[in-house]
Amino acid sequence: MSDKLTKAREYEVKKEAMIPEEQRPLFHLTPRCGWMNDPNGFSKYNGKYHLFYQYYPYETVWGPMHWGHAESKDLITWEYLPCAMAPDGEADNFGCFSGSAIEMEDGRQLLVYTGVRKEEEEDGIVREYQTQCIAIGDGVNYEKYENNPVIGADSLPKGAGKFDFRDPKVWKENGKYYMVVGNKTEDKDGQILQYVSDDGIHWNYDKLVIKNNHRFGVMWECPDYFELDGKQVLLTSPQDMLPEELEFHNGNGTLCVIGELNKDGDFCEENCQAIDYGIDFYAPQTVLADDGRRLMIGWMQNWDTCGIRRDDFPWFGQMSFPREISLHNNKLIQKPAREIADYYGKRISRQNVLISDSASLSSIEGRCIDMTVNVRSSERTLSYNKFEIRFADNGKAYSTIEYDPVENIVKIDRKHSGSRRAIVHQRRCKVANNKGEITLRLILDRYSMELFINDGEQVMSMGVFTDVKAEGISFKANGEVLMDVTMHELEKK
């Protein structure tokens, strides 16, 4: 074990012991200490879910990337394991960037990641070189392959850029290992490349999976590629996007491309959509559960919103709640992992409540809840033009969810949540025209809100860093609505 890894492991144990449990979310994974970004190596190994993550243990800002590590039996309660990797190799001395994990034929766990090193070019400019590397271990300790990198610039196809080449996602199929990797071409366009291996160690270029053709952003990061409900799905996170109506927003976004494989095994796209329509969601990664469900977790943050933080917290960044994903009518459906029901506490239900102005309901409050609100007109014709849920409210700070049934738009807004920064505080999305009826399911967990619209047709996520004592929830309508509310308090078991 290198001195860098030993130091990181010793530091995180000491630092974690100093963080009060109540200063973290109840269920969303945060870094053991310091900084967290992309999920890495979301996988099953030895009967448990493993989740690695981009990690800088020493400060709550991005630094030389390590791999943090946690495991879970049920996707919800996570236990920290020792830091898995530090930037201590010749091929990764500037950082161990994002990647994935899989169990090998001999029972060991294979980590596939992007190693980053810096070199000075002939023109005197220092540039990053990104190559694909591996490490192999037993679920706790990992040894980097002595001949890293296993995929270098010499394995790139013509026109591929050698500086932005990262985030390998590995899987096994028909007795072989496959990997997709994000790349930015020499003419600054995103594309996803596929590689193949017989043993997970020696890799060869296979083919181009998809090219952006300058449609969605520039570099395509963090790809995931899998079969789902008879279709082929690619998830990726484009950088530097331009907005398109309310489907895609400026900056760093998420993209789900749905299609089919033709007789030659080539990907033919049929539909493109955003994955999450909120403020904070990036770099999702999936795993196939033993029962056949495809589960997804993302970084519930965004590079454009890193200024929204609690400066008094010894951690930064959290993962989303795990989501079950499926397809319906060639569109992505996302629902909270059903394991959440195992953590339900007190149940409170109110049916056919008439809201004509602003109202609070007895016992409907909290910051660790799973709440479903069904809203509909009180008459046959549309009886209202706006509905609002206000939460994390202490009379001064609050956040809101608004629904406009005329324009069919849902908006999330945290500008009054206590932030002193003029960063992204609002996001809107277009929803189905259901004649004023909508179902809004909120997962609140101390420092986050995830909104599942119409049984998972769309999701909007955001961090909320208002003091956890702000537990108020209220409802407001311009006009009249009928509302059903079912709320479960969430509790650690």
- Residues marked as catalytic: 38
Residue 122's SS3 state is coil
Q: What is the DSSP secondary structure assignment for residue 366, as one 8-state letter?
A: -
Q: How far apart are CA 426 and CA 462, in angstroms?
A: 9
Q: Which tokens sit at 185?
A: 């071409």
Q: Which tokens sit at 43?
A: 């996988």
The per-residue b/e assignment along 250-275, b for 16 or more CB within 10 angstroms, e otherwise, is: ebbbbbbbbbeeeeeeebeeeebbbb
Answer for the pair 66, 93: CB distance below 8 angstroms, yes or no.
no
CB within 8 Å of 363: residues ≥ 6 apart: 348
Which residue is it, tokens 């807004």? 413
Given CA atoms 336, 299, 258, 176 in this order, what sign does their dihedral have?
negative
Given CA atoms 27, 29, 35, 37 in this order, what sign does their dihedral have?
negative
Task: Give the neighbor-by-neighbor strand order of the sheet with 203-211.
Answer: 160-173, 176-185, 190-197, 203-211
- Picking from 468, 448, 474, the residue whose alpha carbon sits closest to that of residue 336 is 448
Q: Which amino acid is at 401?
A: I
Q: Is the peptide bond before 149 cis (omega within 30 degrees of 0)?
A: yes
**34, β-bridge pairs:** 315
Neighbour count for residue 99 (Cβ, 10 Å): 31
> ∠210-266-220 over CA atoms, to 5°?
15
CB within 8 Å of 362: residues ≥ 6 apart: none
Given CA atoms 234, 235, 239, 243 in this order, what sign does their dihedral have?
positive
Alpha-carbon distances, residue 201 vs 41, 135, 155, 166, 196 (angstroms): 16, 9, 14, 17, 10
- Picking from 251, 245, 311, the residue whose alpha carbon sits closest to that of residue 281 is 251
Answer for the pair 481, 58: CB distance below 8 angstroms, yes or no.
no
CB within 8 Å of 442: residues ≥ 6 apart: 369, 370, 371, 372, 373, 389, 391, 401, 449, 450, 451, 452
